Structure 1
Amino acid sequence: MSFTVLLSALIIGHLLADFYWQPMSWVNNRNTRHFRAKKLYLHVLVHGITAAAIITWWEFSFGWQDILRISSATAIIIVTHYLIDLAKSYSSKGVVPFIVDQLAHLLVILILTMWLSDNSEFFTIVWQWLITPSTLWLLCGYLLVLNPSAVFIRMMLERLTAGFSTTGSLPAAGQSIGMLERVLMLTFILLDQFAGVGFLLAAKSVFRFGDLSASKDKKLTEYVMLGTLLSVTVTLFIGLAVNALIAI
């Protein structure tokens, strides 16, 4: 309980300080001036104050009311946040540096939470969640709708549409869209929200209608329909199978 409270509170504080209390001008200033950016130090100070307030509240509510621990944890947040953001300012801009940056911050928060709570609650929660059959079947389901399903659908389409070319589209765009589509559909199926599957298919049809109606190539229309129906069929089968296995 205390571990979960502190972890969630620190994550909320991080999200507020990083995405709501940091204007874009601060980000631009950091990316152009790096360690000379005054806004970087101001941003780190905001994080430090936010973390200090959360940790102080937690220490006096669930912890040992230790001022030294509060100071140490706040200092770690400030120093690590400064180093991580400084490193990010020198990196190329894009999704990967952004994800690595956020994962690094979250890892620091997780380690600090484990140290402050000073118990094995984290490992107990994770282990009890991982070893349940439902979690393992869910993992199998999501793994199946990604690459294995993509390979199966590609093989089926190659067999049914031999000699058909999809030149002109983005490289691997269809496969990436298909994976996202199947992940969303599987999630809806596992939540017993089949209406969500229908909404997803309807939304996709609206976006693709213009391309298909404007195209004079009947093969393109058939190719898209085959791909969509195969994707839906495979995902429905996997989702229903996972639900049945979880219910056993």
Structure 2
Amino acid sequence: MILFIKLLLAHLLGDFIWQPNSWVADKEIKKHKSIYLYVHILLHGVLAAIVAGEVSFIPYAVLIAVTHGIIDLIKLNFQKAKTKRTWFVADQIAHIIILIAVVMLYENKGLIYFWQNNEFWILITGILLVTKPTSIFIKTIISIWSPESQNSHQDNSLANAGNYIGILERLFILCFILTAHFEAIGFLLAAKSIFRFGDLKEAKDRKLTEYVMIGTLLSFGIAIIAGLILQALLLQLP
């Protein structure tokens, strides 16, 4: 685990802290012809070797550098102005997966390590449950109520913002329960209520207020139940 943390630190330094915007702009224009692309690749390899602190890790640092360059080249050649955000997320996920794979390879752990790890399966199932599946469940349950004013206010909000807010709040609740910080759930609910109060007051619509409250309480309730079940299952593991 500590090796992954070190490599993640190296990645953050190389991709964000020590990569000027001028490098990024040059790479986007010149792509594989940009000298900064290769400086960037070399930087990642050097940083990985340094943070690992082992001579035996040097070949793996080279592997990280090469794969980092390949991933960046794919992003540079396929991203468009409208898809930059998508490619940025995909790029970062790919880099993290490579780091995990390198750590497992270096420590002689194959995919079987995760396959046989009961804690991994419990956590990944719980995390997945409180994301999109719960959003669909809540949307289906409260679809029997459809405040007329809700549609009139949708134009003033970000696309799918409510869905993403719900997913994030449930993930936070899951983390709070698993780390035994139950009091933080109250602060989260209070914070959301404060931010929502202005919108609901301005709308002056009792049906909309009730609609939002039902959705919020369902979201919090499902997340809390899921967190408690996860906690109980994890405590039962040997």
Q: Does TM, scored on the shorter chain, surpass 0.5?
A: yes
Equivalent residue, structure 2, for 1:166: 150
**Preserved contact between residue 149 and residue 203 of structure 2 (Cα < 8 Å):** no
Equivalent residue, structure 1, for 2:23: 26
Q: Does residue 62 of structure 2 align to residue 85 of structure 1?
A: no
Matches for 1:57-96 after TM superposition, within 5 Å: 57-59=53-55, 63=56, 70=58, 72-90=59-77, 91-92=79-80, 93-96=83-86
- 1:165 CA displacement: 6.2
Out of 92-101 and 17-26, give the one that drifted further. Answer: 92-101
- 1:212 CA displacement: 0.9
C-alpha distance in structure 1 between counterparts of 2:50 and 2:122, whole Å: 40
Equivalent residue, structure 2, for 1:196: 184
TM-score (norm. length: structure 2): 0.79
C-alpha spacing 1:85/1:151, structure 2 compared with 1 (3 Å): closer
C-alpha spacing 1:194/1:51, structure 2 compared with 1 (3 Å): closer
Equivalent residue, structure 1, for 2:7: 10
**Preserved contact between residue 178 and residue 231 of structure 1 (Cα < 8 Å):** yes
Out of 211-220 and 230-239, give the one that drifted further. Answer: 230-239
**Preserved contact between residue 147 and residue 211 of structure 2 (Cα < 8 Å):** no
Aligned partner of 1:102: which letter? Q
1:100 alignment partner, one of 87, 90, 97: 90
C-alpha spacing 1:149/1:122, structure 2 compared with 1 (3 Å): same
RMSD: 2.9
- 1:164 CA displacement: 4.6
Q: Percent identity?
A: 40
TM-score (norm. length: structure 1): 0.76
1:222 alignment partner, one of 210, 215, 218: 210
**Preserved contact between residue 41 and residue 68 of structure 2 (Cα < 8 Å):** yes
- 1:114 CA displacement: 4.6
Aligned partner of 1:173: which letter? A
C-alpha spacing 1:217/1:239, structure 2 compared with 1 (3 Å): same
2:169 alignment partner, one of 181, 200, 204: 181
- 1:211 CA displacement: 0.8
- 1:187 CA displacement: 1.9
Segments of 5+ residues of structure 1 without an aligned counterpart are 64-68
**Preserved contact between residue 75 and residue 91 of structure 2 (Cα < 8 Å):** yes
C-alpha spacing 1:104/1:233, structure 2 compared with 1 (3 Å): closer
C-alpha distance in structure 2 between counterparts of 1:189 and 1:16, whole Å: 31
Segments of 5+ residues of structure 2 without an aligned counterpart are none
**Preserved contact between residue 6 and residue 58 of structure 1 (Cα < 8 Å):** no
Aligned partner of 1:98: which letter? F
C-alpha distance in structure 2 between counterparts of 1:96 and 1:173, whole Å: 17
- 1:14 CA displacement: 2.0
Q: Tell me, what secondary structure is at the counterpart of 2:217?
A: helix
C-alpha distance in structure 1 between counterparts of 2:102 and 2:147, whole Å: 57
Deviations along 1:147-189, whole A, 9 cap, x unmatched?
4433332233123x25656324255433332222222112212
Equivalent residue, structure 2, for 1:242: 230
